[in-house]
């Protein structure tokens, strides 16, 4: 900052210095916010000033000095002074030097809407509303940039406080006539989307009469991010009927909706993307692959994947994850090899998906190869990879390597501990599963509902009645976890396996939630084994009421009637069913 003190020692210099040169000096001085002699001092060959050094008071606080600098250079131009102060303030805000920016802001005698916009846009937290309040107290009218910055701040606050502030800001800007401003309304819709209020976003959207493509895209993205795919598609149809053509961002948002259980709407969007020549876009094609994979259309996803001209790591990972979830170990390994041959670097998500598929298909040889590759690349330190290794080795029945992968984890988290608990009881070691749980608690890791489900499953499969009641009470009384259907299913199955059918029936009838099919089926099967036909019939009839079209339930009820030699009812139920669905063979 030596140049500023030299300038003050030579006021005749300012008569030769234009404002543009002064602005360049100010901007370059704030580039790193570190004291360095600028080139201008050497260019004009100013004499040294030994009486003033950078260790003085002004070196740590350049804001008042810069104001004096501008004042000396343009003594009769207040507007030029104000513009230069705004530029310095903007430089401080962009460099996150908020302490210096606040000092300069306090020293400014004249503040405009530009001054406040610089501060509000730069802070982007709740303090920005304090500046907005001060702005109104000084009778400075906000503009569209002000409200856009405030609404972006609401997105950062998210739910809770953000909802109230966003709605208050919406009311205020509507009173001032900014509700129909497309620029402000786009930010308002985006804020409502982030805090989870799509209905309020739609009301703000409908207030705008002349909507541009950005406005439509923000509303489509709002529906997509809040899990409303059909509303997003209806909005896209309305958008097309208004003569607005969607771009790549529009289709990415629509495909991000997630059409759970069906690919019909997604295929229609795919056709529209092809017609508008957006299917060749990398992001749109990646979204198409992800959409097909997430909805079970693995073949359609693979066809789209193969037709892509260019791919990225995300696209490869999407395809690998899709095959990994369905247990196609060989195809997953083939994709991994192709990915590496084409020069793409695998990440932790890639390896975790490949390891998971190896576990599903029990491909021990491929599992060992991927494990070695993860060690060479240093991916074994990632929790997702270590958890996948534990799961994969346990599903292959190799508990020794699963234990080694667990112990090699530097800081096992809750998922790692839960994976180890499930690994033990699924391999017929329920006592060891309980030991792992106790060790996890002693290490200070708080169990969740999934961890307790693993413990209760171990007790159920191991016939550990007393331990099962202990952990069920521990879950509800000490950790205040509300049991779900899976927990009750384990408890009823534990009681039924122990022959305590009356207690199991009491627990089943007192469940605060509707029992699921597997809960009733477990109880009915245990009653049939222990000769409690009446209780078994009750459970089977309950199954029939909940799922009347399920052939499995009808088969169970028919077998129960056959067990008590009620052949007429057994035959009547079988006649109502499709014989192939009941397991009959058509081979003669």
- Sequence-distant (6+) residues with CB within 8 A of 501 are 495, 523, 526, 527, 530, 532, 535
Contact 530, 498 (CB under 8 A): no
What is the model's pLDDT at position 432?
Answer: 93
Question: Which band of pLDDT confidence, cut at 50, 70 and 90, is reported for residue 582?
Answer: very low
- 10 Å CB burial of residue 399 (0-12, 13-18, 19+) is buried
Which tops the pLDDT comparison, 535 or 74?
A: 535
Which residue is associated with the tokens 């899990």? Answer: 227
What is the model's pLDDT at position 160?
Answer: 64
What is the model's pLDDT at position 565?
Answer: 63
Which tops the pLDDT comparison, 536 or 354?
A: 354
Contact 418, 454 (CB under 8 A): yes
What is the model's pLDDT at position 454?
Answer: 94
Over the stretch 59-85, which tens digit does the pLDDT of each residue have? 445 545 454 454 445 444 677 888 888
Contact 361, 329 (CB under 8 A): yes
Which residue is associated with the tokens 């056959």? Answer: 562
Average pLDDT over residues 483-504: 85
Where residue 397 falls (left for φ over 0; alpha for ψ -120 to 50; beta otherwise) is left
- Sequence-distant (6+) residues with CB within 8 A of 259 are 229, 265, 266, 291, 295
Over the stretch 10-58, which tens digit does the pLDDT of each residue have? 444 433 444 444 445 444 544 444 434 434 333 333 334 333 333 344 4
Average pLDDT over residues 566-570: 68
Over the stretch 299-319, which tens digit does the pLDDT of each residue have? 888 998 998 888 888 899 889
Q: Is 584 helix (H, G, I), strand (E, B) or coil?
A: coil
What is the model's pLDDT at position 436?
Answer: 94
What is the model's pLDDT at position 158?
Answer: 64
Contact 392, 324 (CB under 8 A): no
Among candidate residues 201, 214, 136, the one with its CA nearest the CA of residue 163: 201
Over the stretch 208-241, which tens digit does the pLDDT of each residue have? 888 899 999 999 999 988 888 888 888 998 998 8
Query: Is the model's pLDDT at 506 over the cut of 90?
Result: no
Over the stretch 397-437, which tens digit does the pLDDT of each residue have? 889 999 998 988 888 899 999 999 999 999 999 999 999 99
Average pLDDT over residues 474-502: 88
Which tops the pLDDT comparison, 362 or 367?
A: 367
* Core vs surface per residue 533-550: b (16+ CB within 10 A) or e: bebbbbbbebbbeeeeee
What is the model's pLDDT at position 97?
Answer: 86
Written as one string, the DSSP assignment of 260-329 is TT--HHHHHHHHHHHHTT-TTSHHHHHHHHHHHHHTT-HHHHHHHHHH-SS--HHHHHHHHHHHHHTT-H
What is the model's pLDDT at position 50?
Answer: 36
Compute the chain's Rg from CA coordinates.
34
Lowest mean pLDDT across 125-139, 192-206, 250-264, 392-406: 250-264
What is the model's pLDDT at position 552?
Answer: 66
Over the stretch 198-208, which tens digit does the pLDDT of each residue have? 999 999 999 88
- Sequence-distant (6+) residues with CB within 8 A of 491 are 456, 460, 468, 472, 483, 507
The count of other CB atoms within 10 Å of the CB of residue 262 is 12
Percent of the chain exceeding pLDDT 70 equals: 79
Query: Is the model's pLDDT at 250 over the cut of 60?
Result: yes
Where residue 212 falls (left for φ over 0; alpha for ψ -120 to 50; beta otherwise) is beta
What is the model's pLDDT at position 470?
Answer: 93
What is the model's pLDDT at position 12?
Answer: 40
Query: Is the model's pLDDT at 388 over the cut of 80?
Result: yes
Average pLDDT over residues 369-383: 87
CA pair distance 370, 392, nearest whole angstrom: 11
Query: Is the model's pLDDT at 4 over the cut of 70?
Result: no
- C-alpha triplet 222, 223, 229: angle, nearest 5°: 155
Query: Is the model's pLDDT at 99 over the cut of 80?
Result: yes
- Domain extent listing, the chain: 228-310, 327-411, 509-587
CA pair distance 5, 48, nearest whole angstrom: 10
Percent of the chain exceeding pLDDT 90 equals: 19
Query: Is the model's pLDDT at 133 over the cut of 80?
Result: yes
Among candidate residues 318, 316, 385, 336, the one with its CA nearest the CA of residue 356: 385
Average pLDDT over residues 457-480: 92
Q: Is 451 helix (H, G, I), strand (E, B) or coil?
A: helix
Which tops the pLDDT comparison, 505 or 7?
A: 505
In the numeric block, which tokens belong to residue 80? Answer: 């030029």
- Mean pLDDT score of the chain: 79
Query: Is the model's pLDDT at 588 over the cut of 60?
Result: no
Q: Is 169 helix (H, G, I), strand (E, B) or coil?
A: helix
What is the model's pLDDT at position 276?
Answer: 86
Among candidate residues 159, 164, 157, 154, the one with its CA nearest the CA of residue 189: 154
Contact 349, 355 (CB under 8 A): no
The count of other CB atoms within 10 Å of the CB of residue 219 is 31
Which residue is associated with the tokens 């097909």? Answer: 292
């Amino acid at each position: 900052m030596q140049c500023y003190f030299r300038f003050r020692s030579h006021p005749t210099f300012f008569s030769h210095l234009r404002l543009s040169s002064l602005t360049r000096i100010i901007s370059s001085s704030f580039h790193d916010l570190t004291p360095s002699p600028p080139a201008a001092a050497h260019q004009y060959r100013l004499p040294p000033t030994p009486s003033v050094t950078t260790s003085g008071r002004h070196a740590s606080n350049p804001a008042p000095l810069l104001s004096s600098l501008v004042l000396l250079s343009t003594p009769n131009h207040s507007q030029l002074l104000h513009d230069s102060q705004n530029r310095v303030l903007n430089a401080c805000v962009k460099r996150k030097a908020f302490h210096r920016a606040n000092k300069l802001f306090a020293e400014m005698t004249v503040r405009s809407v530009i001054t406040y916009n610089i501060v509000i846009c730069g802070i982007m937290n709740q303090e920005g509303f304090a500046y907005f309040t001060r702005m109104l107290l000084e009778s400075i009218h906000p503009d569209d940039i002000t409200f856009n910055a405030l609404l972006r701040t609401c997105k950062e606050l998210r739910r809770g406080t953000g909802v109230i502030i966003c709605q208050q800001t919406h009311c205020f800007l509507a009173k001032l006539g900014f509700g129909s401003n497309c620029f402000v309304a786009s930010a308002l819709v985006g804020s409502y989307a982030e805090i989870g209020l799509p209905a309020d976003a739609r009301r703000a959207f409908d207030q705008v009469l002349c909507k541009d493509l950005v406005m439509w895209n923000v509303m489509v993205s709002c529906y997509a991010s809040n899990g409303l795919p059909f509303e997003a598609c209806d909005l896209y149809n309305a958008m097309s009927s208004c003569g607005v053509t969607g771009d790549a961002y529009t289709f990415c948002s629509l495909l991000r909706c997630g059409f759970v259980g069906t690919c019909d709407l997604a295929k229609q969007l795919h056709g529209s993307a092809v017609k508008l020549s957006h299917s060749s876009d990398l992001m749109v094609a990646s979204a198409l692959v992800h959409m097909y994979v997430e909805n079970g259309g693995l073949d359609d996803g693979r066809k789209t994947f193969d037709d892509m001209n260019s791919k990225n790591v995300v696209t490869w990972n999407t395809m690998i994850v899709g095959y990994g979830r369905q247990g196609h170990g060989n195809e997953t390994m083939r994709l991994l090899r192709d990915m590496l041959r084409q020069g793409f670097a695998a990440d932790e998500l890639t390896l975790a998906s490949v390891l998971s598929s190896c576990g599903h298909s029990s491909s021990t040889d491929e599992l060992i190869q991927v494990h070695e590759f993860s060690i060479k690349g240093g991916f074994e330190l990632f929790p997702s990879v270590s958890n996948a290794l534990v799961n994969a080795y346990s599903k292959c029945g190799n508990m020794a390597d699963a234990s080694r992968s667990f112990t090699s984890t530097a800081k096992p988290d809750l998922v790692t501990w839960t994976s180890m608990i499930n690994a033990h009881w699924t391999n017929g070691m329920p006592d060891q599963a309980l030991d792992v749980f106790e060790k996890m608690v002693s290490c200070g890791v708080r169990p969740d509902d999934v961890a307790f489900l693993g413990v209760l499953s171990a007790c159920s499969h191991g016939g550990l009645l007393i331990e099962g009641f202990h952990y069920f009470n521990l879950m509800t009384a000490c950790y205040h976890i509300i049991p779900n259907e899976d927990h009750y299913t384990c408890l009823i199955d534990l009681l039924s396996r122990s022959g305590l059918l009356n207690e199991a029936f009491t627990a089943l009838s007192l469940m605060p939630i509707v029992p699921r099919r597997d809960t009733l089926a477990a109880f009915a099967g245990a009653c049939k084994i222990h000769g409690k036909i009446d209780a078994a019939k009750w459970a089977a009839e309950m199954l029939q009421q909940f799922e009347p079209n399920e052939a499995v339930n009808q088969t169970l009820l028919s077998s129960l009637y056959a067990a008590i030699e009620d052949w007429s009812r057994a035959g009547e139920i079988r006649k109502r069913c499709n014989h192939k669905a009941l397991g009959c063979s058509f081979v003669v």
